[in-house]
Chain A
């Protein structure tokens, strides 16, 4: 099976499970979003978490992010690289600042998120 179909199936399945738990009449697509919002794939709560999550998961899973431990400068460079070479849409400056601050706070060289993860 291709990774895309496969990931899709998992996302759908996760959405469904959340739908049951929350017992809301929300439509299928809506519950997929809600599921992500509920756990943010283990990202610790903090200012900019939501902006960070949605900017990242467009192209890749949060696992690629939550493995890292980079200084603010290096996170800034990573975003430059994604915008310049990987077709990432340019971020609004205010969002970008929020996102880089969030990443540097929890996914800096000390990997603070490892002890604060919601999972």
Chain B
């Protein structure tokens, strides 16, 4: 589809998002009858019909303020996102193909989305409130302006990866969104340090764990039920790189990435970074909110065979994400006549830094060291690149493998686990030289 048409459609959605009735009038000159159906004036009906290329026999029934299906070419389109693969539309889950993750700082339009519930309707940053309570000396209710005034505002590049990134490669398959490679991103986040806010509230000595609460609604519609509420051990919570974030890449947070306020707890499963954040509650026990218990965001304590049944008591909570790397250029499937090729991408590792990246073009028999940049700041993914020389024409796979400063590296095979988490097996792309 030509770019300008795509843009038009995005604008159409934006208009209808802001004020559907007004959009009706602006786009089609449409004013509905008092019952909010049909077209009061003929002009609107004629222009909508002209765009659709057909008359609308049941126009009197047509509700006010929505976009005709025929104009909404894509069944699912997310405003402000570009090129994402949509895995699910209710709740919204979308990932970014690796070649669209080439930027050192992931643009907002390319940051993946993992929703567990339905995002809140009212996201006005002026009235948004955050509560800090539980085992603190002085509980606090803060607006976003309070956060900006009372605490130092900082900006960091922070890697967030979904715990289930790579799940689709599990065999036997594991239940959940079938993420391939792109449920990861490293945007520039602006906010205040979670640690500063907790210190101001006064963390009591018996605190063990945080509990995070967001304003999204449970899929069942039950208003008393939270879709997800996870937390982290207090030691991790006090890390200075965790942010209560209100800015993303110099702008506002994207609505699907938690606007107007979210946690960013880099290096740990994305689910620790509660979106639409309304409350951080300090507890004297490991938090037991939805998706903290059972087998959610947990893996067996011991290695298991693919498909093995594991009793619930043998699962443990995932903490830091494992070392991993991605080839973001070229896109897999490249056909080239050039025997020299530059490959590049990113590498990251939970709470650690990456110390080396190697690439192979012979299915892992030999490896060559890639150039690796230092992280822009801790928890930012690191850029690597390598110049490859292909010895002859033919089919090649380029494999990449990162090693972190704790000496941990990436496996070729998946360490299978029942819920499909932590797949850090090596990324590979195909290149045909002809």
Contact = CB atoms under 8 A, between A and B. Distances in A.
Interface of A: 1-7, 9-10, 12-14, 16-17, 19-20, 23, 25, 27-28, 58-61, 63-64, 67-71, 74, 78, 81, 85-88, 109, 111
Interface string B59-76: 001110011111010011
Given A12-B66, A109-B173, A19 B88 contact: no
A88 to B, nearest CB: 7
B337 interface: no
Contacts, number: 111
A4 B222 contact: no
B360 to A, nearest CB: 30
Per DSSP, chain B at the interface is loop
A67 B58 contact: no
Interface of B: 13, 16-18, 20, 54, 56-58, 61-63, 66-70, 72, 75-76, 79, 86-92, 115, 118-121, 171-173, 175, 177-178, 217-222, 225, 255-256, 290, 294
A20 B67 contact: no
A87 B72 contact: no
Nearest to A24: B58
Contacts of A63: 86-90
28 contacts: A1-B18, A3-B115, A3-B256, A4-B121, A7-B89, A9-B66, A9-B67, A10-B75, A13-B69, A16-B62, A16-B68, A17-B68, A17-B69, A17-B70, A20-B54, A20-B57, A28-B61, A28-B63, A59-B221, A60-B90, A64-B88, A68-B175, A68-B178, A69-B172, A69-B173, A87-B218, A88-B220, A109-B173
A55 B17 CA distance: 29
Contact of B56 (A6, A10, A20): A20
A12 B37 CA distance: 13
Contact of A85 (B54, B61, B76, B294): B294
Given A10-B72, A60-B88, A60-B90, A85 B67 contact: no
